[in-house]
Amino acid sequence: DSGVTQTPKHLITATGQRVTLRCSPRSGDLSVYWYQQSLDQGLQFLIQYYNGEERAKGNILERFSAQQFPDLHSELNLSSLELGDSALYFCASSARTATGNTIYFGEGSWLTVV
């Protein structure tokens, strides 16, 4: 158990809908990362937050947004969903944002868009 908690574990929704994925980082970790894993794209970095502020952006679509709240949990919002958004979405956390901090991953949220 990495200590990173993600909900829901599985989600099936229709195209055009909006979903929210939630992440609780390890106790004391200030940095949260979101990744998307799909068969054709592999593991893609989406976005990073540190202590409530956005720190880095990767291949995140404009239809997607995220935030980190004062209690350090984070949410990834996916809107106007398309079939191609079906993937495993991971949240990860680390104590600090500097390179060299071990990053721990949650079990992921399986999103299926039908």
Which residues would be at the binding site for another protein (CB under 8 A)?
2, 4, 31, 33, 35, 42-43, 45, 48, 55-56, 58, 88, 90, 92, 94, 96-108, 110
In terms of CB distance, is 1 or 71 closer to another protein?
Answer: 1
SS3 category, 36: strand
In terms of CB distance, is 4 or 113 closer to another protein?
Answer: 4
Neighbours of 76 (CB within 10 A): 25
In terms of CB distance, is 58 or 84 closer to another protein?
Answer: 58
- Nearest-Å Rg of the Cα atoms of the chain is 13
9 and 109 in contact (C-beta within 8 Å)?
yes
